[in-house]
Amino acid sequence: MLTLIKNGLVYQAGQLQKMDVLLQDDHFAAVGVALAELSDADRVIDAAGKLVTPGFVDVHVHYRQPGFTQKETIKTGSLAAAHGGFTTVGAMPNLDPVPDTPEKMEQMQALNQKDGVVHILQYAAITKGRRGKEVNDYAALKAAGAFAISDDGNGIQSAAVMYQAMQHAAAANLPLAEHIEDESLLFNGVINAGPKAQELNLPGMLDLSESSQLARDLILAQRTKVHYHACHISTKESVALIRWAKQQGIRVTCEATPHHLLLTADDILADDGNYKMNPPLRTRADQAALIAALADGTIDLIATDHAPHAADEKAGGFCHAAFGITGSETAFSLLYTKLVKTGQLTLPRLLELLTSAPAKAFSLPTAGTIQPGEPADLAIFDLQQPSQIRESAYYSKGKNNPFTGEQIYGITEMTFVSGRLVYQKED
Ligand code: DOR
Ligand code: ZN
Ligand code: ZN
């Protein structure tokens, strides 16, 4: 079947241009101007005035299956991704069982394949059971389908374990994605240490927990030559360290989340668990450093850290709620509304951070681009009509999102994965 998407504002090779895109069955057949006149399409979609972009790539999501399906399943998580325009995701391994052997990795791959409506790349764990003690067999995990390794949810506390993990990951040529957190500097905190923690009378977690461990990791990465990916960096010190590491030629990439780019601790107006995540919301100075680092390339990509939890798990305020908020369904519209429409980031750069940049960082040759012959992964957005984020519109089982109710631009109209329509806005 031939599908023609005509007259859209197409993001292609770093530029936005009015073009047509032709999909044939599961792959792109052509992209260019005036394809409409040549084609004999079975289906024509008029995208005039709409944004047409390669499907987004989110290298950091939590799908909770197996083990925690009250929070999310592969089906609901991937439907949420499709709703947000994401067509490729990297799923974290804080699951039960943890994918830490080739057998478990293969089972995970089969589940993702069976239930996912988007392309799901699976992280394997860095250490056995994610306990931070014994490193896994990365070559075997890679052979079983792992695209990268992470113990996300926890940092690797021991420098010796991290050093060994990096040596093995470098040998297997697998990216190591680290949740950077020195637990000895947390002091049972639930919110960033600072004035807001004092105002709400909550225990604070030090920002140094992130930056001091990042400094350690960068020095270890320099020696081991691993591809080290820093997850969800959130402090100005982390930004400075990554900038330094890149100048030294250390093989490092990093991500920032929409919530750390768009919110600070000042936005927490009450003891509300929907503002609790790890790392926590930081200061305005941290936020400003992150936004500047998006523009100058220090931050490589945006990833959501989509972390759904059940309503009862997010109840009871900061002291009782689980860490984490959802992100897949609101990421683009929020970033477009709050960073692009306000002039802090250009639309092409935002699109790069969500498409070709993550694909490049994780060496995913067919993702994040509209290329003839490659899988037809694409999303269409309406940039004109304002809309409200409604909880009833979420496909995720997790309703834990502090942006619910906000007025946004840039809602998703359609998402295609390998030529299949996996999301369509209801009229
Ligand atoms: O807020 C978070 N939630 N941070 C993490 O590192 C883990 C995640 C989760 O799994 O819920
Ligand atoms: Zn994390
Ligand atoms: Zn995470």
Does the pLDDT value for residue 36 go beyond 90?
Answer: no
Distance, CA of 145 to CA of 139 (rounded, Å): 10
Same domain, 410 and 347: no
Last residue of a domain, one of 330, 361, 392: 361
> Per-residue pLDDT tens for 144-154?
999 999 999 99
Does the pLDDT value for residue 39 go beyond 90?
Answer: no
Place of tokens 């998580």: 77
Buried b or exposed e, range 85-122, using 16+ CB within 10 angstroms: bbbbbbbbbbbeebbbbbebbbebbebbeebbbbbbbb
Question: CB neighbours of 69 closer than 8 A, spacing ≥ 6?
Answer: none
Asked, for residue 367, whether it belongs to a domain, the answer is: no
What's the rounded mean pLDDT across residues 265-273? 98
Which CATH number fits the domain that encloses residue 33?
A: 2.30.40.10
Same domain, 258 and 317: yes
Same domain, 350 and 404: no
The closest of 43, 20, 23 to 33, measured between CA atoms, is 20
Same domain, 283 and 152: yes
Does the annotation flag 278 for ligand binding? yes
The closest of 282, 328, 290, 332 to 307, measured between CA atoms, is 328
Which ligand lies nearest to the CA atom of residue 326 in the structure?
A: 1
Same domain, 94 and 192: yes
Last residue of a domain, one of 361, 383, 406: 361
Asked, for residue 368, whether it belongs to a domain, the answer is: no
Residue 25 falls in the annotated catalytic set: no
Q: Read off the DSSP letter of residue 360.
A: H
Pair of tokens at residue 234 = 């959130």
pLDDT of residue 74: 99
Same domain, 335 and 195: yes
Question: Considering only CA atoms, which residue is closest to atom 6 of ligand 1?
Answer: 153
Gap from CA of 183 to ligand 1 centroid (Å): 14
Q: How many domains does the chain have?
A: 2
Which ligand lies nearest to the CA atom of residue 178 in the structure?
A: 2
Asked, for residue 370, whether it belongs to a domain, the answer is: no
Atom of ligand 1 at shortest range from CA of 62? 10
Pairing of strands 228-230, 176-178: parallel
- N-terminal to C-terminal alpha carbon distance within the chain: 25
Does the pLDDT value for residue 427 go beyond 90?
Answer: no
Same domain, 48 and 104: no
Question: Considering only CA atoms, which residue is closest to atom 4 of ligand 1?
Answer: 278
Does the annotation flag 382 for ligand binding? no
> Per-residue pLDDT tens for 189-245?
999 999 999 999 999 999 999 999 999 999 999 999 999 999 999 999 999 999 999
Distance, CA of 8 to CA of 81 (rounded, Å): 22
Distance, CA of 211 to CA of 236 (rounded, Å): 9
Asked, for residue 415, whether it belongs to a domain, the answer is: yes
Last residue of a domain, one of 338, 361, 384: 361
Which CATH number fits the domain that encloses residue 63?
A: 3.20.20.140
In the set 182, 217, 305, 377, the catalytic residue is 305
Residue 186 to residues 52, 189, 279, 405: CA-CA distances in angstroms?
43, 5, 11, 32
Atom of ligand 1 at shortest range from CA of 277? 1
Same domain, 350 and 387: no
Beta strand spans in 25-118 (E): 27-32, 43-46, 51-54, 56-61, 86-91
Asked, for residue 245, whether it belongs to a domain, the answer is: yes
Q: 243, exposed or middle or buried, with CB in 10 Å at 0-12, 13-18, 19+? A: middle
Contact indicator for 80, 62 with CB cutoff of 8 Å: no
Asked, for residue 76, whether it belongs to a domain, the answer is: yes
Same domain, 419 and 290: no
Asked, for residue 296, whether it belongs to a domain, the answer is: yes
Atom of ligand 1 at shortest range from CA of 152? 6
Same domain, 45 and 179: no
Asked, for residue 25, whether it belongs to a domain, the answer is: yes
> Per-residue pLDDT tens for 402-415?
999 999 999 999 99
Same domain, 133 and 189: yes
Does the pLDDT value for residue 37 go beyond 90?
Answer: no
> Per-residue pLDDT tens for 163-188?
999 999 999 999 999 999 999 999 99
Gap from CA of 342 to ligand 1 centroid (Å): 29
Does the annotation flag 309 for ligand binding? yes
Which ligand lies nearest to the CA atom of residue 325 in the structure?
A: 1
Distance, CA of 17 to CA of 19 (rounded, Å): 6
Q: What global pTM score does this model have? A: 0.98
Does the annotation flag 152 for ligand binding? yes
Q: What is the mean pLDDT of the chain?
A: 98
Question: CB neighbours of 201 closer than 8 A, spacing ≥ 6?
Answer: none
Domain membership of residue 301 as a residue range: 56-361
Instruction: Say how many CA atoms lie within 13 Å of 294 toward its Cβ.
Output: 31
Same domain, 277 and 129: yes
